[in-house]
A and B are shown apart, each in its own frame.
Chain A
């Protein structure tokens, strides 16, 4: 910035006259702080005006005391004002309102936070319920499927009665000869002990020839206790038996642990 040009523009004379806007005044002030040259020019201009205005002043002694008397009166009044409790109520009210407002703000913030967490919980519950519904739907589908399977016209029902080791046990075999499927309803069997599994056998009676059809795996986990097995023995099965075998099953049935047995009735 060209300081000389700035000074020559005449802006500082207008500054001293009080003819600039607030923004311009601030700008001049800022520049005067930064540039001693500008400040000294302002002071010179001011001095010229001071000199000129002084010539017109009334020739008297400029005593401060009458002014001092006037301002101390107004100061006294102010002191009285401060002591006058009634006059400060608006100030207190203002502060009280501010405090109340702050408390209110804080309270609303807390309300908002707790509502948010409640909403979160509700959303989670909702998700759980939706999952349950979908699980129920799946379960219903399965049940319908099972019912349809058992109602098939090709199904033979073979009740398997409890044997010596567990006389109260029972089971039912649903044998679809066409699809070579065997459905075992094992609801009536006790839960197998740890390390053991039920094994289903197809039997020919004369001579007694057992053939393993499969294991009732995950007995405890299966809710409806209906197991689907393949029975490729076609019409060769004359009876079905279920024995308790060590995990993984056995090659030959342990007849001492024969839980249920049922004979296929000739059709």
Chain B
């Protein structure tokens, strides 16, 4: 079955289509959340909530929102960022790291947070720091093009082209 058909069925509240989407994207969505909250248990909990939220708002998705995964990604990012801002989280983790997701690969201290470091390393091998930064801002932290250009101190147009070449490199690494 094509992705579009599955999404359509999901929108008409077919639990089986929803289960299919969950199996397709749960790992990725939970992964994004984990890079933000950096705690497996919290990430899993938020991840479940994100899927329930998607189910309850299924009728709000349409092609003007972009890809289905992109829509889910957006819900996930917002939910994870909300969690970071919440009181309970602040009490648990007073020092929020603003590190980039790839720092995880080098992180040896964290125990609450497991990552496929080997795979991550192989993916980002030979990616320059500026690439890692831009991918992190746009895909994991949810920065807009303009926000990313301000953060990285580069023209808005450059965000678009640099991101393109960085993702291309990532794709090359994937196939190697």
Contacts and interface: CB of A to CB of B under 8 A. Distances in A.
A14 to B, nearest CB: 6
Chain A interface, DSSP helix/strand/loop, else mixed? helix
Contacts of A205: none
Contact of A16 (B13, B26, B66, B140): B66
Interface string A58-102: 111010101110111011000000000000000000000000000
Given A48-B171, A55-B31, A57-B34, A68 B64 contact: no
Given A56-B31, A67-B52, A13 B120 contact: no
A68 B15 contact: yes
Given A52-B170, A60-B40, A64-B22, A10 B164 contact: yes
A148 interface: no
Contact of A56 (B18, B26, B35, B135): B35
Given A10-B161, A14-B145, A53 B52 contact: no
A252 interface: no
Nearest to B123: A52
A49 B29 CA distance: 11
Interface stretch (A39-47, A180-188, A196-204): A39-47
A42 B18 CA distance: 22
Given A55-B123, A58-B44, A62-B26, A44 B66 contact: no
A60 B47 CA distance: 12
Interface residues of A, number: 46
User: Contact residue range for chain B?
Assistant: 35 or more
Contacts of A62: 22-23, 26-27, 30
Interface string A95-132: 00000000000000000000000000000000000000
Interface in B4-49: 13, 15, 18-19, 22-23, 25-32, 34-35, 40-41, 43-44, 48
A23 interface: yes
Interface string B128-159: 00000001001110101100000000000000
Contact of A50 (B28, B34, B66): B28
Given A15-B67, A62-B30, 7 more contacts: A13-B163, A47-B174, A48-B174, A56-B104, A62-B23, A71-B56, A75-B13
Interface of A: 8-11, 13-20, 22-23, 25-26, 28-29, 42, 44-60, 62, 64, 66-68, 70-72, 74-75
Sorted nearest first, the 8 A-B pairs with minimum C-beta distance are A10-B164, A57-B31, A58-B40, A62-B26, A56-B31, A10-B160, A53-B31, A22-B64
